Amino acid sequence: MKKFSLLFVLMMTVVFILGACSDDESVDSENENGDEDVVTLSLWNRYSELRGGFAQLIKDFEAEHPGIRIETQDTPEAETQLRTALSEGNLPDMWTNIVDLSELMEVDAVKNLDEIFTEDVKAQFQDGTWYENGTTADGSVYGFPLAAPQSKAMIMYYNKDVFDMLGLTEDDIPASWEEFKALGQTIVDESNGSVYPIVWNNPGWANEQLVSMMGTAITPEVPWQENYKEGVPQVYTEGKIESAEFIKELLDEGLMSPESVEIGLGEAEALFAVGQSAFLWSGDWVGRQLVVETEFENWGVAPLPTKDGNPYYYHAGSEATSIRVSNDTEHWEEVKTFLEYALEHLHETVYVNTGAGLPAKEDVGGEPPFEQYNDILELESQLAIPVPKPAELNPDIVEFNRAYRNKLEVGGIGDAVVGYITGNIDDIDSEIEQIDHDMKDAFMETLDEFPEVSQDDYIYPNWEPFEPYTVEKYDELR
Amino acid sequence: MANNLELSQKSTSKDTSNLKTLQKRKAIWAYIFLAPQIIVFFIFSAYPIVMSYVYSFYEWSGIGPLNDFIGLANYQQLLTSERFWNSALVSIYYILGTTVLGVGGALILAIILNDQKLKSKGFYRAIYFLPVVTTTAIVGIIIGSIFGINGFFNQLLVDFNIIDKPIPWLTDPVLAVIILIVIGSWKGLGINMVYWLAGLQSIPNELYESAQLDGAGFWATLRHVTLPLLKPIAAVIILLSLVSGINAFDLVKTLTNGGPNFATETMDLFIYNYAFSSQLGGGQVRMGYASAAGVLLGLFTFVISMVFGAASFGKQIIKLKGNKKKKGGVKAL
């Protein structure tokens, strides 16, 4: 009897351990309702502005394909979640892009989508959609493009309620920093301090984007962190320094909401919507957020103010907003069915009909939910300009860039700008100069380690700031 | 007679054999009951610790094979990194701050709540214990809105004409670290209070009664009776507080996220930022580098524990050894 008890306990322990280690395969073959023929696909989405559009798209898709169900999951800590899933071998069937494509390729985690994206299909997308380590690798497609590369440039939203209240018109919208400050002072005075001219936010990446974009109006040869004339990384530019100083002046002079230094994008949008500020600087997706999330529709858009009112720009295709497919998906046929459906309907449903941004596909139908959508579209097409992508001419640069960036203590100047605005860094000039120096040192050191990459790979003699860098221009250098 | 002796010997030998079997059986059962815990320990504690040492010698993003062995390069880079040393300093401030405030405050609170004459003790104890069972991340978010530029606290100070303009509690690095320490201490106050109460209640009442008979007042009793008898438990509470101060991740992440410009980044947040979330911030995920930082954090914890352990328990151990020797000496005499 005792031996039997011992054996029983041992067996239970083994069953418990093996049970805990096993995968739950049944979920796919039989869903919660017990419908045995329904296949469930998982989709992880990290873009909050796409939630509503995805929900509608999936609803329509499921109605047309009752045998396939798609479960979406929002991923606020997208990178952490995907890396954990990857290390556990438990990737979702699909996810919106996170983790460098080259890293995913290295472990064969991402599915080749050439079967869907034939040359004819690829031609239906905006120029600049297909690029190495973004949507493609070695010429093959590894990402279903969502947003247009000509997007994500920052623009200025203005609150028409505030304008009406203070008797301002669209002619008063400032183009230069001087005009902005003058108008700002008028807004503060006229509203007895109840309205701030601008509300901003504190994430480092947003601050780096803002000073970089404003900075291109002063030093246009550095669109982001590279100088394509000299072939070196560069963040220390007159434009970025002066832009950071301008933002700090606004805060110090009471022309920027003091909350700006401790809030995120969502809070800034909410403050703007309730009329606590006349202007908001942000990206193209905010139109949808204002209308849907805060139910505020009385706003307009204009370019950011720059030092002398000169034009500015942003490097197009900064992010390959796309859907990636797991190479381990057990339901490739169903995923393919969904992607083929998405090819026909996604850009209209998720982008145009919700106003969440600009679709990667050309000539998409749909009805924008707010009239300012086309104004945003027009601004973005002017401001987001393709610049050289060195990996297009030398694929070894993908690996080189990873090694180079591994040597850096900070990824950019955003946190330094935040430190300066909040008064924790007194000398922004020398702080950014130091980051620039470290970047150049790391770059040169990495060049020594990668004989297949040279500084010449970063020099683009046929590139001119503000001129779109097209496929033809790459061909000239091939 | 001889037969009886033989029987008795046989019986003793049988008893011994039964005892051994029983002991053996007990040991088997003990191992069976321990097995799940040991297995879990090896899978979720020992294995990750060992692997983090291995990863620290590689340039590795957390994905793919470990094929880029770089020896001690991650450690070299860490030890020359200004950001790493800043995070270590912030962690030290936090650990010391929460220990002094949290342990000291909890002692005062425990002494007050241990007073026999105090009514509704249970209620107060429950109130002070409440923050312990509250989710730290939620606490961080709420405190963030209280101490924000236009938050409740600044509004209160402005309304009472104590300040002219709002104080940047969370964006000034010194003030932000102070807020972190105060909130961290408040969060741990309840559990430290429980430890102190346990210590206080273990002190025999007779000692207080004789102190009272000897004419000792509150302060004299505290100084000569309570505090000396709390010394052993004090060492344990301080050690626990020091070690728990190293894990400030959730509070820092939600309250300041290490900002501005990494000024409030603690070591555990530093590790997280490199291990998981660098891509959106413009950097690279570096699991190997983060593992090296994790190893240094582990060593840091070990050193703190050893130094404090030696400082607080060393004398007791020496005393114990001395007592044993004395006892041995008496026996020999």
| Backbone φ and ψ of A124, nearest 5° | -80, -5
Q: Mean pLDDT throughout B104-129?
A: 89
Q: Are A145 and A361 in contact (CB under 8 A)?
A: yes
Position A22 scores a pLDDT of: 45
Residue B71: CB atoms within 10 A of its CB come to 9
Complex ipTM over 0.85: no
The answer to whether A423 faces chain B, any CB pair under 8 Å, is yes
Q: Are B189 and B109 in contact (CB under 8 A)?
A: yes
Q: Cβ of A419 under 8 Å from any chain B Cβ?
A: yes
* B168–chain A Cβ distance below 8 A for any pair: yes
Residue with the larger pLDDT of the pair A451 and A25 = A451
Confidence of residue B332 (pLDDT cuts 50, 70, 90): very low
CB contact under 8 Å between A106 and B63, yes or no, is yes
At A209 the pLDDT is: 94
How confident is the model over A395-440, as pLDDT tens digits?
999 889 988 988 888 888 999 999 999 988 999 999 999 999 999 9
Could you report how far apart the first and last alpha carbons of chain B are, in Å?
42
How sure is the predictor about B14, in pLDDT bands with cuts at 50, 70 and 90?
Answer: confident
Q: CA nearest A425: which of B84, B177, B171?
A: B171
pLDDT in tens, A101-122: 988 998 899 999 999 999 999 9
In the structure encoding, which two tokens stand for residue B13, read together? 């030998």
Kindly state whether B125 is in contact with chain A, defined as any CB-CB distance less than 8 angstroms. Answer: no
Give the CA-trace dihedral at B62, B65, B70, B72, to 10 degrees. Answer: 50
Strand, coil or helix: what is B309?
helix
Give chain A positions within 8 Å (CB) of B288: none
Decide if A410 and B283 are in contact by the 8 Å CB cutoff: yes
From A406's Cα to the closest Cα of chain B, the distance in A is 6
Reported confidence tier of residue A5, pLDDT bands at 50, 70, 90: low
> Is B94 within 8 Å of chain A by CB?
no
Whether B173 has a pLDDT exceeding 60, the answer reads yes
Chain A partners within 8 Å of B259 (Cβ): 202, 204, 415, 418
CB-based contact (8 Å) between A9 and chain B?
Answer: yes
A441 vs B21: which has the higher pLDDT: A441
Give the angle B286-B291-B296 at the CA atoms, nearest 5°: 130
pLDDT per position as a tens digit, B276-323: 875 555 567 888 999 999 999 999 988 888 888 787 766 666 666 666
Distance in Å from the first CA to the final CA of chain A = 82
Which pLDDT score, from 0 to 100, does residue A30 have?
46
Residues of chain B with C-beta less than 8 angstroms from the C-beta of A152: none
DSSP per-residue letters across B148-203: STTSHHHHHHHHTTS-SS---TTTSHHHHHHHHHHHHHHHHHHHHHHHHHHHHHTS
Confidence band of A292 (pLDDT split at 50, 70, 90): confident
Check pLDDT > 90 for residue A21. Answer: no
Percent pLDDT > 90 in chain B is 55
For each of the domains in chain B, give its residue range(s) and CATH number, in order of start: 82-323 (1.10.3720.10)
**In Å, how far are A273, B197, B302 from B309, measured between CA atoms?**
57, 22, 10
Q: State how far residue A81 is from chain B, nearest Cα, in angstroms.
A: 9
The verdict on B253 touching A (C-beta cutoff 8 Å) is no
Give contacts of A 80-99 with B, CB under 8 A: 80, 83, 86-87, 98-99
Among chain B residues, CA nearest to A254: B165
pLDDT digits (tens, 9 = 90+) for A316-354: 877 889 999 999 999 999 999 999 999 999 999 999 999
DSSP percent split of chain B into helix, strand, coil, nearest 5: 75, 0, 25
Quick one: pLDDT band at residue A23, thresholds 50, 70, 90? very low
Which residues in chain A have their CB less than 8 angstroms from residue B36's CB?
13, 16
Among A454, A477, A458, A461, smallest CA distance to A224 is for: A458
Q: ∠ at Cα B73 (B72, B77), nearest 5°?
A: 120
pLDDT digits (tens, 9 = 90+) for A196-218: 999 999 888 899 999 999 999 99
Characterize A153-165 residue by residue with b for buried, 16 or more Cβ atoms within 10 angstroms of its Cβ, and e for exposed: bbbbbbbeebbeb
pLDDT in tens, A138-158: 889 999 999 998 888 999 999
User: Tokens in use for B43?
Assistant: 């899978």
Mean pLDDT of A285-293: 89
Per-residue pLDDT at A410: 81
Q: Where are the alpha helices (DSSP H) in A30-116?
A: 51-64, 78-87, 101-106
Using the predicted structure, report yes or no on whether residue A379 has a pLDDT greater than 90. yes
Q: Kindly report the pTM of this predicted structure.
A: 0.81
- Please compute the mean of the pLDDT values over residues B192-206 and round it to a whole number: 92
**Residue B15 pLDDT more than 80?**
no
Give pLDDT, residue B8.
67
Query: Which band of pLDDT confidence, cut at 50, 70 and 90, is reported for residue A13?
Result: low
Provide the shortest C-alpha distance from residue B8 to chain A (in Å): 29
Cβ separation A86–B82 shorter than 8 A: no
Please say if the pLDDT value at position B271 is more than 50: yes
For an interface test with B, the pick among A83, A90, A98, A437 (most B C-beta atoms closer than 10 Å) comes out as A83
Give CA–CA dist A174/A472, Å, rounded.
37
The nearest alpha carbon in chain B to A103 belongs to B63
Q: What is the DSSP letter of A326?
A: B
Query: Residue A317 corresponds to which tokens in the numbers above?
Result: 């295709």
Q: Is A253 on the interface with B (CB under 8 A)?
A: no
Decide if B105 touches A, using CB distance below 8 A: no
- Residue A38: strand, helix, or coil: coil
A95: CB partners within 8 A, 6+ apart: A43, A44, A45, A46, A75, A78, A82, A323, A324, A326
Residue B285: per-residue pLDDT: 83
- The whole-number average pLDDT for the span B225-250 is 91
Q: Flag whether residue A8 sits within 8 Å of chain B, measured between CB atoms.
A: no
Strand partners, A147: A359
Distance CA B315, CA B318 (A): 5
Which chain B residues touch A202 with a CB distance below 8 Å? 171, 259-260
Average pLDDT, chain B: 87
A205 has a chain B CB within 8 A of its CB: yes
User: pLDDT category, A357, cuts 50, 70, 90?
Assistant: confident
Q: Is the pLDDT of residue B330 over 50?
A: no
Cα A262 to Cα A86, B16, B146, B154, B168: the distances in Å are 33, 75, 12, 14, 9
Interface test with A, best of B29, B32, B60, B63 (most A CBs within 10 A): B63
> How many other CB atoms sit within 10 Å of the CB of residue B276?
19
> Within a 10 A sphere around the Cβ of A370, how many other Cβ atoms?
17
Whether B105 has a pLDDT exceeding 90, the answer reads yes
